[in-house]
């Protein structure tokens, strides 16, 4: 599969149709979905002002992918430093990561595979630029009781999906906890309709 950078260049390629460039942006979001794919896509649609009719402003796709690229670069640089540090520590015999501190937080973040601050409700997520939020996540070692994405302790609100009840940061919508529940088909249909509208950039 072509890399993030390959698809980023495709977004910039004005010889491609706006739809093809949009498809390349989608692949980039799949590769680095800070809030999860749907919420990250919604954030970029809003922050870059991607119109419903792509032909009316195709450069919005460039604005979106460059915001994502800048955030991803911060992540990759920090991850590279973490990996190099752990290699040095292992070479000196320090194979165990301390139970608290930034390295333990890094282990948790790396297991999330790109969704650094999952937002189950795709319309509720931090509104600051992605690089600002990623920097905050990387620089805040532990988080609790503060939200690692917005830095606030604003309490939680509940939000339901088909199979889960999510507890979200009341300030920015990042998931703090979740619990499994019985399937609710009406909620499932409503959430899918919400996503269809987001994908068409209607909301």
pLDDT in tens, 138-194: 886 545 678 888 988 889 999 999 999 999 999 999 999 999 999 999 999 999 999
Prediction pTM value: 0.89
Place of tokens 């959430």: 191
pLDDT of 99 higher than 60? no
- The span from the CA of 136 to the CA of 130, in Å, is 10
Nearest to 30 by CA among 13, 51, 44, 49: 44
Residue 70: its H or E element: helix 59-91
To 10 degrees, what angle do helices 59-91 and 18-31 make? 20
pLDDT tens track for 109-123:
555 545 789 999 999
Asked whether 156 and 101 are in contact (CB, 8 A), the reply is no
């Amino acid at each position: 599969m072509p890399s993030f950078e390959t698809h980023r260049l495709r977004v910039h390629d004005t010889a491609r149709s706006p739809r093809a460039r949009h498809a390349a942006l989608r692949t980039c979001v799949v590769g680095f979905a800070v809030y999860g794919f749907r919420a990250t896509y919604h954030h970029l649609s809003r922050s870059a002002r991607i119109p419903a009719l792509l032909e009316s402003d195709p450069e919005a796709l460039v604005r979106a992918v460059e915001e994502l690229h800048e955030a991803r670069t911060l992540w990759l640089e920090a991850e590279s430093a973490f990996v190099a540090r752990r290699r040095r520590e292992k070479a000196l015999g320090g194979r165990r990561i301390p139970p608290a501190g930034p390295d333990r937080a890094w282990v948790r973040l790396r297991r999330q595979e790109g969704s650094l601050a999952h937002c189950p409700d795709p319309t509720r997520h931090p509104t600051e630029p992605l690089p600002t939020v990623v920097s905050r996540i990387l620089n805040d070692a532990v988080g609790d009781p503060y939200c690692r994405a917005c830095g606030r302790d604003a309490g939680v609100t509940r939000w339901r999906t088909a199979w889960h009840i999510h507890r979200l940061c009341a300030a920015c919508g990042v998931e703090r906890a979740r619990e499994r529940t019985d399937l609710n088909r009406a909620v499932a249909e409503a959430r899918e309709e919400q996503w269809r509208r987001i994908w068409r950039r209607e909301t």
